[in-house]
Amino acid sequence: MNGMEKKLAEYKCDTNEAICLKLVRFAEEVDDESTTFHPEYSHQLYGDDEVAFGYKGLQIQLYYSAGNLITLFKVKYSARVTENFDCMEPDDVEGKIREIIPAGFSCNTDDFISLLEKETNFKPFGTLLHTYHVHNVEAGEDFTYQIHKVDVSCPGFREYHERLQTFLMWFIETASFIDVDDDRWDFFLVFEKYNNDGETLFATVGYMTVYNYYVYPDKTRPRVSQMLILPPFQGEGHGAQLLEAVHRFYCNLPKVQDITAEDPSENYVKLRDYVLVKLCQTLPSFSTDKLPLGFSDDMATEAREKLKINKKHARRVYEILRLKVTDMSDETKARDYRLEVKKRLFAPTKKNQRELTKMMKCLRPEELASHISQMDTALQQEELEKSYQEVLAEYRRVIERLAQA
């Protein structure tokens, strides 16, 4: 790197560090750095490198009022490349943000602080589904939370949602905004209910969007599209509360076939495992005496009819609950369990083998050579054992969380 390149490198900023997010309840929090959090992703706006060029000390402030998400947007920096290099143009960092935040934001801190006073007028949208409490160790008291079911016809919700969905860009890797004009969308929101000087206020905690697909002839299949608990509230159990409340809501609708998720992340799958196991462990077909007998049609039917859980997910729930009641120090019981799980894991490979056997009859020698490696039994066994151990670790985490609940 030559001298010029070194100087220009000083004007590169990591956009994940430069973007400063806040959920502001009180005026003094605006300047309190301890309340700031940063994105996990910014590539959708600033490219795969997540770098902005042209600034030193870049700070992109996106502060939201805790309840109604009224927005303050400011860009600060200590130096810009054009001050020292006439031929260089800085990236349009401000323009990129303006592409995703709706109109009506403030650029003045004093104006934003004055708008915080209106937070007392903000009330959650929609219908209250569930209230729960979480003990806050630091405060030494229980905090109250509410989950609401909302549709886009609620007055003010459309504008609120436009502000809320901007968080998706920073915390979901493949996020995209949805068409709220489609009435098949359901929205579920989590709020914290708190008091300040005798007044009751609400803070936005997170939300979920669900799309209702048509299933012939007269059913629907709700599919979870997006789910986000905002960073200041993560790790407190709100995701599990939200997912369970949503499941219970759809369980009461006769027209619902089952509940699925669109391209679920690894973290979502872990959360779903926990919630579905928690729900299923009280069903008669999943009783302790029936689990060692294997996965049954009764389990699949009861999970579908009572909890809107499809067969694939019900099978996974069965495996977790069976592990929970299996003495893995007993060689026979451990072997039976291992074979039961591996049988499911091996099923796709076995199907591929059958198809390959059929193909071999019509493949040319060079084509056969490229496929034959797929039938390496030793390699398959090794991969199968690896998959089994990974699944076992995932299941044990779910069981540990159940024990702590």
Which residues are annotated as catalytic?
262
Q: How far apart are CA 290 and CA 284, in angstroms?
A: 9
CB 25 within 8 A of CB 40: no
How many Cβ atoms are within 10 Å of 313's Cβ, its own excluded? 23
H-type helices in 326-376, by residue range?
331-360, 365-372
How many Cβ atoms are within 10 Å of 127's Cβ, its own excluded? 12
CB 242 within 8 A of CB 250: no
**DSSP state string for 200-211:** EEEEEEEEEEEE
CB 274 within 8 A of CB 281: no
Q: How far apart are CA 101 and CA 93, in angstroms?
A: 13
How many Cβ atoms are within 10 Å of 235's Cβ, its own excluded? 9
H-type helices in 33-107, by residue range?
43-46, 93-98
